[in-house]
Amino acid sequence: MNRRAFLQHLGLASLALPAWAQAATAGRKPNIVYVIADDLGYGDLGCYGQKHFATPHIDRLAAEGLRFTDHYAGSTVCAPSRCVLMTGLHTGHSYVRGNREQKPIGQEPIPAGTVTLAERLKAAGYATGAFGKWGLGPPGSPGDPIRQGFDEFYGYNCQRNAHRYYPDYLFHNDQKVPLDGKTYSHALILERALGFIRRNKGRPFFCYMPVTIPHAAMQAPEPYLERFRKQFPQFNDVVGKYAGTETKNPVAAFAAMVTILDEGVGQVLALLAELGLDENTVVMFTSDNGPHLEGGHKPEFFDSNGPLNGHKRSLTEGGIRVPMLARWPGHIRPGATTDHVSAFWDVLPTLCEIVGTTVPDGIDGLSFLPTLLGRPGEQKQHEYMYWEFHSQGGKRAVRKGKWKAVQRNVTKKTPGPVMLFDLEKDLGETKNVAGAHPEIVAEMKRIFADAHTPSAIWTFPGE
């Protein structure tokens, strides 16, 4: 076991808890609700510019909390993004770096001994529940959520099964729960999450909600579909097909799905208020990567990327920069916006600091609690941000300050050139300026090498 893995296993921190975190432990620790939408784009919410449909409940998080403009997912697809979130390690160091399937069910499991966010919060006295899509290990494997720090799991253990919203079964913990194939899964997942909050109202809880909406297939209950078919009749002759499903007017279905997602966030906020937990609960909302192109979804119609270029599976900004909202009454200033550069690997140390527990050493994340509390002078900054992706020929990317480097076809016989973009002048990454800045390109190549730890599963040439 190398030093990083050893320190992760111990879950040790190299520094004492800050005074703020020590003070937080004096009273009841804050509850945490963390919602991840699936394949929701940077421009798919009203508070980020969406004009074709409304998201009033999610927008409320922005109005009453903090909106991030430069927050990044852990990866450009589902499983590695979630692995990064759970471990605080970016994809140059994390165990899962792609969607690697297992049969008959599930994805590559994170190993036993992995220190996860759920384990750190559970050790701090939190009830821990996960409701939605897992993707980090089949039932009974070392990566099973109930073996990785969660007291309860309900939803899709396997990402492949999550491609349909009317499934024949879901999982409760490690047990298969048969369904009739006619019940909308998001409603069941939301019901379980609300029940978890209600049952644990008397103690601190971590309610992790990696919901499946709006991932394809493009499916929603008929009343929602009919409403948006009337709004977007120009697409009524279009049929979206995905994973054995067919949907009339998938454009209407997308708007319907995000509306359902928004209403669910509203139900969570209403329950917190009903239980008197509103002011002692941190609510965060984000997405696991950029918008998808499957099932007839038309992200260009909705301007799902906003000013960004690229989609899911790309490492340009549209594939990895995501909406991020945080609300914590009495702690986060309402209606604030930040351009602090942060990512999924920062969530673990942030939440650990909030609840007053130790942060595992050897991780890549930096707590953004000072940013949440409006103390920018105390905020530590990353030297750089790094991503790697091992599909579609292999890709890697670095952001350092205003500079963004992207390289494609890394695993090919002849790798692609390192492209360089100035995000201050060219947020859409339309102009490659590598030729004008060879010294910056050389620095980015050094970071590519330094940020990547070889993996037996996820390999680049020469490893």
* Count of C-beta atoms within a 10 Å radius of residue 381: 9
State pLDDT tens for residues 261-310: 999 999 999 999 999 999 999 999 999 999 999 999 999 999 999 999 99
Name which of 7, 16, 93 is nearest 450 in CA terms: 93
The Cα 53–Cα 71 span in angstroms is 23
Which string of DSSP letters, residue by residue, matches 207-226?
EEEE--TTSSS----HHHHH
Which CATH architecture describes the domain 30-378? 3-Layer(aba) Sandwich (3.40)
CATH code for the domain defined by 392-451 = 3.30.1120.10
CA angle, residues 60, 122, 206, in degrees to nearest 5: 15
214-273 residue pLDDT tens: 999 999 999 999 999 999 999 999 999 999 999 999 999 999 999 999 999 999 999 999
Confidence (pLDDT) at 28: 87
Model confidence pLDDT, tens digit, residues 143-190: 999 999 999 999 999 999 999 999 999 999 999 999 999 999 999 999
* Mean local confidence (pLDDT), 64-75: 98
Residue 228 CA from chain centroid, whole number: 27
Q: Which residues contact 103 (CB under 8 A, 6 or more apart)?
A: none
- The token pair at 113 is 């001994």
Q: What is the residue-wise DSSP string for 345-410? A: GGHHHHHHHHHT-PPPTT-S----HHHHTT-GGG----S-EEEEE-STT-EEEEEETTEEEEEE-T
| E strand map for 160-280 | 169-172, 175-178, 205-210, 239-242, 245-248
Interatomic CA distance for residues 123 and 89, integer angstroms? 20
**Three-class secondary structure of residue 63 per DSSP:** helix
In the chain, where are the structural domains located? Answer: 30-378, 392-451
